[in-house]
Structure 1
Amino acid sequence: MKISVIGAGVIGGNFARKLGEAGHDVQVADARRSEAVAPDVLETGARAVALEDAVKDRDAVVLAIPFGVAGQLADLFASVPAETVVIDTSNHYPHLSGRIETVEDGAIESVYTSELLGRPVVKAWYAALAGTQRTKVAPAGTPGVSNRWAPPTAPS
């Protein structure tokens, strides 16, 4: 699959590495600039790209950005085809993202993010801490490893 990860921090870096290891065509974008992507994020074949290029010709786009900032990317996603799957990995932590009254009053986080982006999103991989993602995840079927998540494998 052709997958982009928007967000090159700890979570985004984990996804870029794991998806690259699984054989996917991975691009990773940092909101600041493509040069801000750490070299270790690119070790498994991911390529750093500009934010505007991260959504072009992709099967899926993983958002690994702070909760509540997806609205800043709405214009970027306006031209993304409906069949491109957008996956949101964020969580609302008021001490990090500030108080978001709509969410704190009961709005579902994925619905809130969908409304900010103006398109459907899938909420996934948001329950595992960054350290767990980096060190405990192994491909499904790995002997001696019990896990509930592994990146999808690329078609042969």
Structure 2
Amino acid sequence: MKIGIIGTGNIGGTIARKLRAAGHEIRVANSGGVDGVRAFAEEIGAEPVDIRGAVDGVDVIVLSIPLPALSALPSDLFTAVPDSVPVVDTSNYYPGLRDPQIAEIDQGMTESVWVTKQIGCPVVKAFNNVLAYTLAELGRPKGAEGRLAAAVAGDNHEAKETVMSLVDQAGFDPVDGGFLEKSWRQQPSTPSYCCDYDAKTMRRALLLAVKGQAAAKRDELPQHFMKLGPNPTHADVVAMNRSFHPLD
């Protein structure tokens, strides 16, 4: 497929690398324009484009930028995107750590529902509840023992199936997280968030999420990260996330 990826940070860049390795035709764009993404594109064998080039004539769009950066996108960027093209939202809301407060989300709106309102088209929530290290280093072939899982939520069945196939190709078992409104179950500081679970455990963790509880847990993150020291390991972060929501 032709896949346009907007954002080449830890998550977007890793998705681009993995899906290029899987044989897809990848276009990459970031806030630096064509020249700003050229070196990375050449490294992985992708095409460097501007943000309009990342959405024009592609089969899938991956939007992997912080929520505040959505306001910098052209208001008509997704206007001509066909309904058949899945738009993948990998974002997470981190108020106080990276993002300014967003009133609608603070009042209970599901993060990716808010994203759809900003860009004017539906999205599929995916790749947001795995750590960058997990995505880059811990993918395994389908059927491998101990393969980790990633949740995928969305309202369009065909779009969600397409995105789930990409999660699979990236090395993870895709777990259906339900409709987009239910993607709050895979937001930061929920039981399924960045805990390196297999598919069976991921499904259980999604079900154990309690509406409204994550925001309070998320506000505790800074003090917990301070306890981990200046250079926490991946295992430290996973253990911290699991401690927020013991499954037993």
TM bucket (normalised to shorter chain) is 0.7 to 0.9
Which structure is richer in relative contact order (CA contacts within 8 A, separation 6 or more)?
A: 1
- Gapped runs of 5+ residues in structure 2? 151-165, 170-248
Give the TM-score taking structure 2 as reference length.
0.57
Q: What are the Cα deviations for residues 11-52 of structure 1, in whole angstroms up to 9, with x where unaligned?
A: 111010000011111111012212222735543322211111
Q: Deviating runs (4+, > 3 A) in structure 1?
A: 38-44, 149-153
SS in 2 for 1:75: coil
1:65-76 matches, within 5 Å, as: 65-73=65-73, 74-76=75-77
Gaps of 5+ in 1: none
Residue aligning to 2:21: 21
**Cα distance in structure 1, aligned partners of 2:34 and 2:142:** 31
TM-score normalised by L of structure 1: 0.87
Q: Helix, strand or coil for the counterpart of 2:122?
A: coil
Identity, in percent, stands at 39
Aligned length, in residue pairs: 152
What do residues 101-137 of structure 1 show as CA deviations (whole Å, max 9, x unaligned)?
1101100111100000111011111011111111112
Q: Which residue of 2 aligns with 1:125?
A: 127
| Larger proportion of helix | 2
Does the Cα contact within 8 Å between 1:17 and 1:43 map onto a contact in 2?
no
Q: Which residue of 2 aligns with 1:57?
A: 57
Between the aligned partners of 1:88 and 1:59, the Cα distance in structure 2 is 15
Separation in 1, partners of 2:42, 2:91: 22
Q: How far is the alpha carbon of 1:70 from its aligned partner?
A: 2.5
RMSD of aligned residue pairs (Cα, Å)? 1.9
1:146 maps to: 147
